[in-house]
A and B are shown apart, each in its own frame.
Chain A
Amino acid sequence: MSEAKLQAVFVQALGISPDHRFEDLRYRGLDAWDSVAHMQLVSGLEEAFDIMLETNDVIDLSSYEKSKQILAKYGVRF
């Protein structure tokens, strides 16, 4: 459930296909994940999971896998 919600946020923020290999996603690893999209991603995660990320976590959000680790700190289970 959480995984599907997380993937939906990435699809929406980065404009990628739902079939994308999410585990390969890295900040600036594709053109779509630029600094503007990064803030849309942060906003999307906060909205979807009803949380507010610490500034350091916003900076550390560097990959799809990292996003799961960060969300786990806020009580999101995968």
Chain B
Amino acid sequence: MLEGQVALVTGSTRGIGWATAQRLAQQGATVVLNGHSNPGLLEQRVTELSQSSGREMLGLSFDVADDVQVVAAARDIHARYKRLDVLVNNAGILRDAMLGMFSREAVDRVIDVNVKGSLFVLQAAARLMMRAKRGSIVNLSSIIGTRGNPGQAAYAASKAALVGLTLSAAKELAPHGIRVNAIAPGYIDTDMIKHLSADKHRERVAGIGLGRVGTPEDVADVVVFLASEWSRYVTGQVIGVDGGMVI
């Protein structure tokens, strides 16, 4: 489905990002993996994916919140492949705190990574895609950004911002043949939910129509759909992947 295409997945060493990288590779894409805090894990993931796919994958360690590093990464991708077909803006961080308990530093970092980081990477990727007048960008928002949740105001604000980014970028980039969509995952089995108590976990699952926690692969499969030609007439959409979760 994606043979010959190059895909960049930010934050792709764990969770939804890693599942997405694997799914894209299974569909024939060459995947550029990205991580920032653990270069050793990034290297390990590149090796794993290269071996399982039989194709050489690339790992780029950069901080999405640093626009200079982002442009340098885009330059590396251009130098190596001369193309970029798919961007999955997945890198994100979670900082939970009730209103009034947020530190300035925590808010800054959430906004820097989740909002500015997505903007910077989208900006650089779109310029590479414009050359071919085609491409697909998928932003990872969250059900928290569309519905809200107590104790997650900063995270919710950052994920809601990605909805606005998606809608605006979709309109701006449509004349260039580039589609931009967002996914709003619900309660997904990643490191981000590991800190919840057993009671809280049960409460969350009880609110899911399909009666189970989502898997990173549940989300990754929708990313593949949005990255592929199967969604060639889909742009400016926010797709919930939440099993019918009520929050």
Contact = CB atoms under 8 A, between A and B. Distances in A.
Whether A associates with B in a native complex is yes
Contacts of A39: 126-127, 130, 176
A46 B127 CA distance: 9
A55 B123 contact: yes
Interface stretch (B32-40, B71-79, B92-100, B201-209): B71-79
A73 to B, nearest CB: 14
A52 B130 contact: no
A65 interface: no
A74 to B, nearest CB: 11
A43 interface: yes
Contact of A55 (B67, B78, B131): B67
A40 interface: yes
A46 B131 contact: yes
A46 B126 CA distance: 13
A43 B175 contact: no
Interface in A44-67: 46-47, 52, 54-55, 58
Contacts of A46: 78, 127, 131
Contacts of A47: 131
- For the complex, would chain B's binding face be called helix, strand, loop or mixed by DSSP majority? helix
A42 interface: yes
A36 interface: yes
Contacts of A58: 127
A46 B128 CA distance: 9
A55 B175 contact: no
Contact of B130 (A40, A54, A55): A40
B233 to A, nearest CB: 21
Nearest to B68: A54
Interface of A: 36, 39-40, 42-43, 46-47, 52, 54-55, 58
Closest 9 CB pairs of A and B: A43-B130, A52-B75, A47-B131, A43-B131, A52-B78, A36-B175, A52-B74, A54-B71, A39-B130
Interface of B: 67, 71, 74-75, 78, 123, 126-128, 130-131, 175-176
6 contacts: A39-B126, A39-B127, A39-B130, A40-B130, A42-B127, A42-B130
